[in-house]
Amino acid sequence: MKKLIYILLAVIVVTSSACDRNKVKNAGELNTKASLPASLNFTSLGYKVITSSINKKLGTMATLYGNKQALADAITGNGGTKPGEEFALITWKQQDDERWYGAKIPGELQSIERVKTGAEGVVDYKCFDGKDIVPHADTLHNAERTKYILSQQASVMP
């Protein structure tokens, strides 16, 4: 009799623990692949989101941040700039979202582009590549990229 009860209990324990298939594999983890290097201390800049974008051909996604003046100008959307605006465009390679079939999320960090406007129309552009934020050597596209970043319209956020 006792034996029988033990066997029954064992069967219940084994089946109930073995059958919980619903477990997220990477539960509690951060997206380390996409995370920004700590040395950048990005949050301390206090930038706000201006807009975000996707490039379906390249499989990348980007978020444009800026300081208060930059955001205000992007909302006005008249294409002009004033001194003291700071922008940061962060671009990631996309990866499939393991938690939702039908979504893509940031993967490998690709680049950080920074634009600062100074007095008398002086604009400073810098680009850094990858997780190690290596300064981008090729300056051929600087003017084109600056123009692109400054022309971005803000996303509607009521």
Partner 1 sequence: MPAEAKHSMKTKLLLAISILGVCFILIQFVRPNIDNPPVKADFEAPAEVKNIITRACYDCHSNQTNLRWYDKVQPVYWKVAHHIKDGRKVLNFSDWKSMPIADQKGKLWESVNQIIQGAMPLNSYTMVHTEAKVSPADLVVLKNYLSSMVHSKPADTAKTNALDKQYKKWQNAQPAQTHLPTEPNGIAYIPDYKNWQVLSTSERFDNGTMRVIFGNDVAIKAVKEHHINPWPNGTIFAKVAWDQLQDTAGNVKTGAFKQVEFMIKDDQKYASTKGWGFARFKTPKMVPYAAGNALFANECVNCHRPMRNNDFVFTMPVKH
Contacts to partner 1 by CB under 8 A = 15, 19-24, 26-32, 34-36, 38, 42-43, 48-49, 51-58, 61, 63, 75-77, 94, 97, 99-106, 153, 155-158
Collapsing DSSP to helix, strand or coil, 122 comes out as: coil
What single-letter DSSP state applies at residue 69?
H
Q: Which is nearer to partner 1, 68 or 82 (CB)?
A: 68
CB of 93 to partner 1, least distance (A): 12
What distance in Å separates the CA atoms of residue 50 and residue 23, rounded to the nearest whole number? 36
Q: Which is nearer to partner 1, 121 or 130 (CB)?
A: 130
CB of 120 to partner 1, least distance (A): 28
Find the angle CA(27)-CA(52)-CA(70) to the nearest 5 degrees. 125
* Cβ contact 113:84 at 8 Å: no
What distance in Å separates the CA atoms of residue 107 and residue 143, rounded to the nearest whole number? 27
Q: Which is nearer to partner 1, 108 or 124 (CB)?
A: 108
Using a 10 angstrom Cβ sphere, with 0-12 exposed, 13-18 middle and 19 or more buried, the burial of residue 93 is middle
Alpha carbon 81 to chain centroid distance? 25
CB of 17 to partner 1, least distance (A): 11
Q: Which is nearer to partner 1, 97 or 124 (CB)?
A: 97
What distance in Å separates the CA atoms of residue 123 and residue 3, rounded to the nearest whole number? 83
CB of 43 to partner 1, least distance (A): 5
Q: Which is nearer to partner 1, 7 or 121 (CB)?
A: 7
What distance in Å separates the CA atoms of residue 26 and residue 31, rounded to the nearest whole number? 10
CB of 22 to partner 1, least distance (A): 4
